[in-house]
Structure 1
Amino acid sequence: MTKQSILVVDDHKEITELIYHYLVEFGFDVVTKNNPREVFAAVEQQKPDLVILDIMMPGMDGIEVCKELRKTSNLPILFLSSRKDDVDKVLALGVGGDDYITKPFSPRELVARVQAHLRRNSLLLPLVQQQPASLKFENMEIDPDTHIVTAYGNTINLSAKEFDLLFQLASYPNRLFNSEQLFEIIWGGDSLGDLRTVMVHLSTLRRKIEKDPANPAFISTIRGVGYKFIGQPQGQD
């Protein structure tokens, strides 16, 4: 069985070495980088299954790295930070991060988060592949084969989790999902995390797909109840 590969990026060598030993012990192949600008070549050459990325790095911080990666890649990105400020967490998730862990962290929590995201990705991929037909609505098309979303004729660049959320909601138009259900479906029922992650990802998703996020045409919030995709499916391929 092929080992899953993790790319760990932190400007502190002692941190990358510590995480390296944690993950290797659990059977992962691990590549470490201390220079954030080396990430892009490493992703291209090593093709990791997940990236662990520190936020505070000199020269190019983790937020900038994530933005660049999201232009070409949907692989899971797990942020590390020594800051517990919710603003940083919202920013990290808003640029396409899949999870956020504050330092100091326990080895078990880190490994559990990594395993949960890898497991979730492996489960979602075959599910998407089983549905070759695009989802078509007025002013929107969602292609699960290519992960390409078009809204109002424009191609929208979404992170993996943003796409998964949109695809889940659009697969069941006009059906309500609460935050707990969406968190369980997209992040995994046994994933360690915060339900605010759902809110942050949906807020970012709306900014990308809606002409007026304050008056959404695609994803509606029913206050105190949940979220639903608005629209009637059109003819499918």
Structure 2
Amino acid sequence: MKMNILVLDDEKEIADLIEIYLKNENYNVFKYYTASDALKCMENEKINLAILDVMMPEIDGFTVLIKIREKYNFPVIMLTAKEEEIDKINGFSLGADDYITKPFRPLEMIARVKAQIRRFMLYNRDSKQNEAIIDFSGMVINKDTRQVFLNEKNILLTPTEFSILWYLCLNRGKVISSEELFQKVWGEKYFNSNNTVMVHIRHLREKMEDSVENPKFIKTVWGVGYTIEK
């Protein structure tokens, strides 16, 4: 199913450029040059993501963002020529998900759109589903779909590797012994060898490009077990 993206920018050339690149990525684009037309569109169409220019005549992008957040939870990317930090802080505080400053590179814009849609689909802003999501330090783990994204890159794990990573992340800040990992992941009561756990941890680190000497995620506590710090 194609995603519907709303584009609001009073600069026709920029709006048209965004539309071209989005359509090349097979998105449906609803393009508007006035905020009132964009707001009417949202009442009649299911929008999956919006790109809003901040500096709009009559109704500015922040006001449109406020109106969106009164009813909808889809991702919103703010587009502006300004670079003041206060504008970004204002946008994020009102519910913006990302911020792009003009002039921008179209391919970067596309990458940000894809990232926001992917994250929204993983979360779906649903409290029940959020219980199956762990998100920290650039890593997103979805227990229901068994997917792991590291800095927006999909990491392919075996079921056992996924279970180890999920359990360690679920217990961030705690040191988990090899015996506990074995019992929780393999479901076996008796723990005979540390080698099985060590091999899977090594494979996990390789796939996550996590070094043993200076790990970002899985740290070894010698003589005790493994931990992922908060």
TM range (shorter): 0.5 to 0.7
Return structure 1 stretches of 4+ with deviation > 4 angstroms. none
Are 1:113 and 1:191, in contact at CA under 8 Å, matched by a contact in 2? no
Residue matched to 1:181: 136
Aligned pairs for 1:74-93 (under 5 A) are 74-93=73-92
**Aligned AA for 2:7?**
V
Structure 1, residues 17-65: CA drift from partner, whole Å, max 9, x if none?
0000010011111110000112221112121100000000110100011
Residue matched to 1:46: 45
Residue matched to 2:188: none
- Report deviation, 1:191: 4.8
- 1:184, 1:5 → 2: CA distance? 26
Q: Secondary structure at the match of 1:71?
A: helix
Relative to structure 1, the CA distance from residue 64 to residue 189 in structure 2 (aligned partners, 3 Å threshold; closer, same or farther) is farther
Task: Name the % identity.
Answer: 35
Structure 1, residues 136-170: CA drift from partner, whole Å, max 9, x if none?
xxxxxxxx7xxxxxxxxxxxxxxxxxxxxxx67xx
Say what the alpha-carbon RMSD is for the aligned residues. Answer: 2.7
Residue matched to 1:34: 33
Residue matched to 1:203: none
Relative to structure 1, the CA distance from residue 191 to residue 102 in structure 2 (aligned partners, 3 Å threshold; closer, same or farther) is farther
- 1:102, 1:184 → 2: CA distance? 25
Q: Secondary structure at the match of 1:70?
A: helix
Are 1:112 and 1:191, in contact at CA under 8 Å, matched by a contact in 2? no
Residue matched to 1:147: none
Relative to structure 1, the CA distance from residue 82 to residue 181 in structure 2 (aligned partners, 3 Å threshold; closer, same or farther) is same
Are 1:11 and 1:34, in contact at CA under 8 Å, matched by a contact in 2? yes
Residue matched to 2:103: 104
Q: Secondary structure at the match of 2:116?
A: helix
- Report deviation, 1:183: 5.1
- 2:32, 2:137 → 1: CA distance? 33
Residue matched to 2:117: 118
Is 1:190 equivalent to 2:151 in the alignment? yes
- 1:128, 1:67 → 2: CA distance? 20
Are 2:77 and 2:100, in contact at CA under 8 Å, matched by a contact in 1? yes
- 2:32, 2:99 → 1: CA distance? 19
TM-score by length of 1: 0.56
Are 1:63 and 1:92, in contact at CA under 8 Å, matched by a contact in 2? yes
Relative to structure 1, the CA distance from residue 61 to residue 109 in structure 2 (aligned partners, 3 Å threshold; closer, same or farther) is same
- Report deviation, 1:14: 1.0
Relative to structure 1, the CA distance from residue 128 to residue 86 in structure 2 (aligned partners, 3 Å threshold; closer, same or farther) is same
- 1:112, 1:94 → 2: CA distance? 23
- 2:64, 2:126 → 1: CA distance? 27
5+ long unaligned stretches in structure 2: 142-148, 154-229
- 1:57, 1:191 → 2: CA distance? 31
Q: Secondary structure at the match of 1:108?
A: helix
Relative to structure 1, the CA distance from residue 189 to residue 81 in structure 2 (aligned partners, 3 Å threshold; closer, same or farther) is farther
- 1:16, 1:96 → 2: CA distance? 22
Residue matched to 2:62: 63
- 1:183, 1:67 → 2: CA distance? 27
Are 2:138 and 2:151, in contact at CA under 8 Å, matched by a contact in 1? no
Relative to structure 1, the CA distance from residue 104 to residue 191 in structure 2 (aligned partners, 3 Å threshold; closer, same or farther) is farther
- Report deviation, 1:128: 4.1
Relative to structure 1, the CA distance from residue 31 to residue 86 in structure 2 (aligned partners, 3 Å threshold; closer, same or farther) is same
